[in-house]
Structure 1
Amino acid sequence: MAQVHPTIGGHSDSRFEPVAQAFRDNFRLRNELGGAVAIYYRNELVVDLWGGIADKQSGAPWRADTLTLMMSVAKGISTICVAMLVDRGQLSLDAPVSLYWPEFAAEGKGAITVREALGHLAGIPVTDLAVPGDFYHWDRMVAAIANQKPLWPVGEKQVYHSSTLGFIAGELVHRVTGRSIGTFLRDEICAPRGLDYFIGMNAEQQARCSTIVASANNVVNAAKREPKNSISYRMWQAVPVEEDYNSVRWRSEELPSVNGHGTARAVAGIYNAMIGPNPLVTAATLRQFLTEQQAQSTDSEGARLRMAVGFMLNSPPHRPMGPNMRSFGHSGAGGSQAFADPVAQLSLCWTTNKMHDGNDIGARAKAMIDAAYMSISL
């Protein structure tokens, strides 16, 4: 049943009243449970709203500091961590992955570059050597990736490395810095800015989490019902079928392909830090990461995706990020959306604890994005 009169907290500048109205309408018209939206515009936090129910069973309200799972939004944040290392000269996009991670050279992968691996061109979207439960074990997952034989010649196809890309990024960070990607994210990005976004959480952070209501046909759940020889199933075979995205293991371990948890305010802040004053990486480095890698790329449903190095680029109508094609970020299974628009100088994150089916961003996220750009055009 739709929550007609949810409790909504936070603030929205008067110019962004269309966003506040769209957020209210998500509850009134689109059967929202709980969620949050945050927008930076010209380096100012102009929208920071949250509302609804954080836990359906108890009825606990969504609060200012409620953390929620954003699934593959974590890939964009993980890419930012890698970009910082490239910017510092500690990594090169055109160097072989095996230069930093020698075991990755197995099964003929010795020449695959960091750019190809993060650009979904390596032909390793699956982990055939992993078994259910291995997803929670870093060493087992990176070993399965390192020993995976490419499914086709490198660069022949661009297929979304949905389950493996975050682990590839994370292992590169680990090999170069000696720190896990969750630790690097905390130390280098979030803690200095007071931003609540985590890959791997402690008990206190987990206590602030909303409870995810997983839809039957979100990308991961749907893949688990595919034939066992299909690419979709093989992508996610390391995740136990009973995982509901609320388990202690899911929240505790560092799973940078899919398990970043945070506030909308934090993720919008991270993307603002990519395009605002004193950005996390230089413009020259960012350009390397925003180059589309293969123009004919599609996802498993045949929808056009514009994939760069680690980031998704604006891909309307399936995964829109406003009117500017230079927008970049990453969406997450179930609907969460986060991106930066360097043209409009706007960054946005919308998230929810009620997942939606399908590979698109869904009506609730689209309403937030449309309202954001309506606000700055008035």
Structure 2
Amino acid sequence: VDGRSVGRFIAEEIAGPLGADFHVGLPQTDDFRAAEMIEGPKASEWVDIVRASPFPHACDNPAPRALAPNDRAWRAAEVPGGNGQSTAHALARIYGMMAAGGTFEGKRLIGRAAIEEAGRPRFRGMDDSFALPAAFAAGYQIEDPVYAGRASPQSFGHTGWGGAIGFADPGAGVGFGYVTNRMLGFDDVDPRRKALIDAVYDAL
């Protein structure tokens, strides 16, 4: 809208003001800080599931590769729906700002209406590419089984391939972030994420 790329907009309007180490488009000078991704057991099983579904084209052009994040081209690209690069602290900080209604240190970074839409259901039904139930608001997963039952109903966030997750819980005033470089796949909820989320809510 204003001529800036998505990565630059996020850097200048969100990550920068928050002091959050979050990037969509990682400068080459920061490559040494990026953890090398490791593809563990079952990490890529979902690709075969989608290819066998009515929507195999979702895994083409290009085909998803678990270790693509190790490539300089991938790190440099600005693919806001797929290659945000972050520390867990930065994810928690950004989602914490959203859990606080879009403000940080008295300054509004995101409009209240946008925060409300992030948690307002827009779709509930079957994700036919995975043959699993799904629920989404404006850009975010809601009612996610990873934190359902612990977080308040208006919570929203998103999981990442291999284990990462970030979410905001406005009811508890909490932002949560978890990242890992060991990508795993599970038939049920990732126990690494569940243990940390349970610990947070036990502490609250």
TM-score of the alignment, normalized to the shorter chain, above 0.5: yes
Length, aligned pairs only: 197
Amino acid across the alignment from 1:292 = P
Q: Say which SS state the counterpart of residue 325 (structure 1) adopts.
A: coil
Report % sequence identity: 29
Q: Map residues 1-378 of structure 1 onto 2, 5 A cutoff.
A: 176-215=1-40, 217-218=42-43, 222-223=46-47, 227=51, 230-231=54-55, 233-240=56-63, 244-245=67-68, 246-276=70-100, 277=103, 278-298=107-127, 300-316=129-145, 319-321=146-148, 322-358=150-186, 361-376=189-204
SS of 2:172 mapped into structure 1: coil
Superposed CA offset, 1:246-293 (max 9, x none)? 111111111222111111111111111113244422333322332211
Distance 2:176 2:66 in 1: 29
Partner of 2:132, secondary structure, is: coil
Separation of aligned partners in 2, 1:359 and 1:257: 24
Q: Is the 8 A contact 2:151 2:172 kept in 1?
A: no
Partner secondary structure for residue 97 of structure 2: helix
> Normalising to structure 1: TM-score of the pair?
0.48
- Aligned letter for 2:180? T
Q: Contact (CA 8 Å) 1:335, 1:361: kept in 2 or not?
A: no
Does the C-alpha gap of structure 1 residues 346 and 183 become closer, same or farther in structure 2, counting only changes over 3 Å? same
Unaligned runs of 5+ in 1: 1-175
User: Taking structure 2 as the reference length, what is the TM-score of the superposition?
Assistant: 0.84
Structure with larger Rg: 1
Instruction: In structure 2, give the amino acid aligned to 1:235.
Output: A
In the TM superposition, structure 1's runs of 4+ consecutive aligned residues that sit over 4 Å from their partners are 224-230, 240-243, 358-361
C-alpha distance after superposition, 1:161-197 (max 9, x if no partner)? xxxxxxxxxxxxxxx1211111111111112222111
Do the aligned partners of 2:39 and 2:183 also contact (CA within 8 Å) in 1?
yes
